[in-house]
Structure 1
């Protein structure tokens, strides 16, 4: 199962985050310092924390400004919900759901007193006694007609036995547990008295039997699903692997439970776990240096043990070095080789780094960023092998000590980790947010302490600092594309970029059309700025084309003498030229008119299908703006990007595919 939505309340700086969606692979929380990003991750971890995590405490975790409500007894910690999440179930999870509930999802929450609760969504609700009472009485009355009193006056009629079975029940009480069993027993007793030719009463009996089972079936399902909830693992920047570990001292601290240096000891324990040894075992190997020379079997056993240790150290070296080099990408011509070496020498385990000359230096003599990267991989691989396999990873400001370009490489590592472990991470580094990942971003801000931390699913915030990492990410990527790609297509805005990128990938996968991968897509933010981007790129000697909407802004941009002179008529592409239908002021959205109408209705609850059918020549965006009060081009484009990940080109309408094949062919031709 994977977390789908989460809602944090009443935790430190978070009064009410409001519910926000979580992507099934990775989700990025951005925001300024003191916005509450770390508090969000800490609260989410309490959904199902690993062993050793401190439980929730009203004194420590309840919003301090409201703590007097706890001490005065106005608020009971058992009634304070801290974190709630809805999980999307996979096929294996759904095996635990009874028939009739296979489409349900699972919701889990934790309260301030550390109690948990759960429920199913989109499943039949538990029945209360009042929901069944009338049908029970009618069935009893029918069975009474077939009941023959015996000489034994203690034998009750169906109505009398029903009254006895439900004595003291209230209408609001749910039918589950002993109450469900009582009704099951009663139904079984009256079944022989039912007229088998009476279809109405037979159906009533069957329906009652199903409804009585709902409560216990739901209880059994949520109990089974709770055992399948992934562990939520929070990785902090503070964990480090010590370059020189004294094994005997570490073994003593572990045995005595006195790990006095949590920052390093945790990393050191993870390193030993990764190697497949514990500190005591390695320490004893180091002490057994002089086995009895007169005992060949003892000598051979000792050598076997040393060889096993060295082979495991070497295997760990190879795997860690491979991962580190995938991010670090050292320039060996400058002596930047990054080969990790693990050496066991008596009571010491050394962690060193070897350069291209074969010289080894201790890990703590390398940069802070390199030390962090080594420590991260050690901790992650050690934990992922054990109880944290398939866990949800919560990364708090990962890679902050890495150089900007290495952060960009580490972003790929996070993506790779997220394929097996759903990942949420916080950052205010623009290099850990890809330009194609803005739909994965959740903006975290705190406008005031009274309001507390809020999470925005859309790219919006009252505080400009919250959006700064996104602006910098787009700016950096744009700057790179401006001076590296020889072929460039300038687009009016970011949503156009998303549509073109997503559709081109769908058509490329189906081999219906192939937008050249050498072409850089450059969003200009507005139609008016297209001319500036085109002019700058053209001045660098690059090939440039522009895609403009056929609305008034696009018309004005297309008629600018500078743009026409720079690109020529063939380099200015207009959306209306690739539509089969006549649509005035057509925009990029009209190239996906059929699909976007469907997605808007199913995903965003925006229904303009009737109006679109009656006004086929009216631009789609104009329809949405006039009928949907909260319409946002960004939200619509974001919904399409999500949709495209789970669909292929065949799910587009035939005319949409024709629109886009013509457009992609024109773009390739203009930039050939």
Structure 2
């Protein structure tokens, strides 16, 4: 399951605010004392099922009236098969898209939250038999004896009304004597409520075991020069960084290092090589860095060799920032390889002393870890945010009435305006270098950026050489094709490589011609229209499979409207299997009727496993921003729909049953390959 939303009322500096949590990584930004650390504390206390301190309740001046009741709501969704099966043992059906909300009212009773399922009180949806059935099925309940005593029936209990007694005809109602008057039926009794004991069992055995583990990364101790092997094996807290590094190098059982044997020397040599390999991969400031762990009697010594040092040196000769990075790297990479099935990792301002290049290295580790666990961290520095994934950013804004959370701090207008809330939160000026990297790709809007980066990330994990290297490439939304030229001009003025990508609409031709005239030395801009032989105007979404995009649209709007009628591919007006218009334009035309439940046909398209129904030469579209729809002024929330698209893509196999890339990935790979070639010119 994933944490999806956190609501805060009268907690610390928050009067009434909510946080939308990204399924992978969420970055909290804001000025000092805006509440970022308090928000992490709320998650930590909830995860440990502890009580909050009394001063966690928001204090208000007497003039504002009495203080309100503190309430925190933690919403989870996206349940996997294992979690659904576990809950099913208790006779309770859970669906992947259900919303399970834990409500903490007041600072106390951390182990007894109220629970809501899709807005309804969960306890009222349960029946005692469900909890008892789980007990009979062999579930291990901490309150088992109490439950048995609370639910046992006395031996002389009469047969319940409505059951057939022994000797009666088994008709379901019992046999009546001939001619006997039929007594009036009694109203059905109210269903029994789950007792306090049963509810405690359900919490402890059904729900708490499947909750994600929530962990705040603790302060890290620097790597010492020399450690006692006995203390190292005994989990001495001050040696945590040394212990993690050795485990990262493959030494699982540290007690084997105590005995002076040839095997120990070989094990440490192998561990040193593995740690060095990781260091060189994730510390790009010095690709010649080397770490050596050498035994000396009952001691173990760590030595480092780096650029500018003629020989191995003690760790303390290196900067405190490097040693901090070493500890963070070891802690995060260990979690990357051994994280629980579901976990949430919290970090409070990681890497604050690091050089900007090292901060970027750290972001790449965090992004890698976020594919296996949810990451939530606070940041004050531009290089600790991933510009390629603006949907992960959240800005905390102190207000007179309490801290507010801006869950979408990027706009669909000119690029400088789009990043304005983020620059303000970081205290930066218009001339900052937040926007650019060594290599830069200028796209029209936020959804172009989201799709290109997400699919490049998937291709990179597959090892496809055509994927963009997001470690050194910034994909920047210009907020419209007319702004791409100005943004590229700024990058070139800073002697950075840049290539612009324009959507496949005919109206882009004049802008592309102007771009070439103004920037004759820049690489040739990319016009998506050159990649596909279609007659209609298209955008980046048309490069996706039709049904993927429709599923994303339907998923998004069905959660917003009870009258929404799903849009089927049969409504798209295809001729000879080909669309005659961009998928975005078609959906915009159909959306008002879909929201009103007034579509003539909603039959879903039949899609085979390898997208055979999708024409290979038919791609498509994306305008980055929210589009206005006809007279009803409805909006197609493209950013939210594209988030659904990315989630659907990640649920599918990238490679078909024939061992080929799925068409949408092949299309994006072809575009990113050309981008890479032109950036290297």
Q: What is the match of residue 429 of structure 1?
A: 381
**Shift, 1:327, TM fit:** 1.9
Q: Quick check: 1:230–1:390 contact (8 Å CA) kept in 2?
A: yes
Q: What is the match of residue 268 of structure 1?
A: 239
Is 1:527 the counterpart of 2:481? The answer is yes
Q: What is the match of residue 44 of structure 1?
A: 43
Is 1:327 the counterpart of 2:304? The answer is no
Q: What is the match of residue 58 of structure 2?
A: 63
Q: Quick check: 1:342–1:349 contact (8 Å CA) kept in 2?
A: yes
Q: Quick check: 2:285–2:357 contact (8 Å CA) kept in 1?
A: no
Question: What is the DSSP-based 3-state SS (H/G/I as helix, E as strand, rest coil) of the residue aligned with 1:33?
Answer: coil
**Shift, 1:425, TM fit:** 1.6
**Shift, 1:625, TM fit:** 1.7
Q: Quick check: 1:531–1:563 contact (8 Å CA) kept in 2?
A: no
Is 1:232 the counterpart of 2:214? The answer is yes
Is 1:97 the counterpart of 2:87? The answer is yes
Q: What is the match of residue 417 of structure 1?
A: 369
**Shift, 1:328, TM fit:** 1.9
**Distance of 1:473 and 1:318 partners within structure 2:** 43
Spell out, residue by residue over 1:424-483, the C-alpha distance to the aligned partner (whole angstroms, 9 max, x if none): 2222333333343223x131222414221425156369955456599999966744225x
Q: Which runs of 5 or more structure 2 residues have no equivalent in the other structure?
A: 129-146, 176-184, 248-254, 412-418, 574-579, 592-626, 657-661
Q: Quick check: 1:56–1:114 contact (8 Å CA) kept in 2?
A: no
**Distance of 1:402 and 1:274 partners within structure 2:** 19
The farther-off stretch of 609-618 and 423-432 is: 609-618
**Shift, 1:28, TM fit:** 2.4
Q: What is the match of residue 646 of structure 2?
A: 641
Question: What is the DSSP-based 3-state SS (H/G/I as helix, E as strand, rest coil) of the residue aligned with 2:220?
Answer: coil
CA 1:457–1:306: 2 relative to 1, 3 Å: farther
**Distance of 1:406 and 1:543 partners within structure 2:** 23
**Shift, 1:398, TM fit:** 1.4
Question: What is the DSSP-based 3-state SS (H/G/I as helix, E as strand, rest coil) of the residue aligned with 2:648?
Answer: helix
Spell out, residue by residue over 1:552-579, the C-alpha distance to the aligned partner (whole angstroms, 9 max, x if none): 5x365256495599699x9774659958
Q: Quick check: 1:56–1:113 contact (8 Å CA) kept in 2?
A: yes
| Aligned CA-pair RMSD | 6.0
Q: Quick check: 1:354–1:360 contact (8 Å CA) kept in 2?
A: yes
Question: What is the DSSP-based 3-state SS (H/G/I as helix, E as strand, rest coil) of the residue aligned with 1:94?
Answer: helix
Q: What is the match of residue 448 of structure 1?
A: 399
Q: What is the match of residue 33 of structure 1?
A: 32
**Distance of 2:278 and 2:462 partners within structure 1:** 33
Q: Quick check: 2:13–2:402 contact (8 Å CA) kept in 1?
A: no
The farther-off stretch of 372-381 and 241-250 is: 241-250
Structure 2 counterparts to residues 213-612 of structure 1, below 5 A? 220-224=201-205, 225-236=207-218, 238-241=219-222, 243=224, 266-268=237-239, 271=242, 304=259, 317=272, 320-329=275-284, 331=286, 337-341=289-293, 351-355=302-306, 359-377=311-329, 391-439=343-391, 441-457=392-408, 459=410, 463=421, 465-466=423-424, 478-482=436-440, 491-500=443-452, 523-532=477-486, 546-550=501-505, 554=508, 556-557=510-511, 560=514, 573=527, 578=532, 587-589=539-541, 595-604=548-557, 605=560
**Shift, 1:223, TM fit:** 2.5
**Distance of 1:501 and 1:380 partners within structure 2:** 23
Q: Quick check: 1:550–1:587 contact (8 Å CA) kept in 2?
A: yes
**Distance of 1:242 and 1:649 partners within structure 2:** 41
**Shift, 1:637, TM fit:** 2.9
**Distance of 2:18 and 2:399 partners within structure 1:** 15
Task: Identify, as 1 or 2, the structure richer in helix.
Answer: 1
Question: What is the DSSP-based 3-state SS (H/G/I as helix, E as strand, rest coil) of the residue aligned with 1:46?
Answer: helix
**Distance of 2:244 and 2:515 partners within structure 1:** 68
Is 1:119 the counterpart of 2:112? The answer is no
**Shift, 1:393, TM fit:** 1.4
**Shift, 1:601, TM fit:** 2.7
**Distance of 1:659 and 1:229 partners within structure 2:** 35
Question: What is the DSSP-based 3-state SS (H/G/I as helix, E as strand, rest coil) of the residue aligned with 1:425?
Answer: strand
- Counterpart of 2:628 (choices 622, 625, 628) is 625
Q: Quick check: 2:163–2:172 contact (8 Å CA) kept in 1?
A: no
Spell out, residue by residue over 1:42-95, the C-alpha distance to the aligned partner (whole angstroms, 9 max, x if none): 211112239xxx952113x3334469999x8x66xxx63345242543333223
Question: What is the DSSP-based 3-state SS (H/G/I as helix, E as strand, rest coil) of the residue aligned with 1:96?
Answer: helix
CA 1:414–1:190: 2 relative to 1, 3 Å: same
Q: What is the match of residue 148 of structure 1?
A: none
**Distance of 2:393 and 2:321 partners within structure 1:** 26
Q: What is the match of residue 604 of structure 2?
A: none
CA 1:88–1:177: 2 relative to 1, 3 Å: farther
**Shift, 1:325, TM fit:** 3.3
Q: What is the match of residue 6 of structure 1?
A: 6
Question: What is the DSSP-based 3-state SS (H/G/I as helix, E as strand, rest coil) of the residue aligned with 1:17?
Answer: strand
The farther-off stretch of 306-315 and 492-501 is: 306-315
**Distance of 2:643 and 2:339 partners within structure 1:** 35
CA 1:383–1:611: 2 relative to 1, 3 Å: closer
CA 1:22–1:536: 2 relative to 1, 3 Å: closer
Q: What is the match of residue 163 of structure 2?
A: 191
Question: What is the DSSP-based 3-state SS (H/G/I as helix, E as strand, rest coil) of the residue aligned with 1:361?
Answer: coil
CA 1:462–1:44: 2 relative to 1, 3 Å: farther
**Distance of 1:115 and 1:663 partners within structure 2:** 48
**Distance of 2:74 and 2:17 partners within structure 1:** 11
Question: What is the DSSP-based 3-state SS (H/G/I as helix, E as strand, rest coil) of the residue aligned with 2:393?
Answer: strand
CA 1:534–1:118: 2 relative to 1, 3 Å: same
Question: What is the DSSP-based 3-state SS (H/G/I as helix, E as strand, rest coil) of the residue aligned with 1:86?
Answer: strand
**Distance of 2:565 and 2:485 partners within structure 1:** 34
**Shift, 1:4, TM fit:** 3.2
Q: Quick check: 1:9–1:82 contact (8 Å CA) kept in 2?
A: yes
Number of matched pairs: 558
**Shift, 1:629, TM fit:** 4.5
Q: What is the match of residue 485 of structure 1?
A: none
Q: What is the match of residue 169 of structure 1?
A: none
Spell out, residue by residue over 1:186-205, the C-alpha distance to the aligned partner (whole angstroms, 9 max, x if none): 8856321597556999xxx9
**Shift, 1:18, TM fit:** 0.9
CA 1:533–1:247: 2 relative to 1, 3 Å: closer
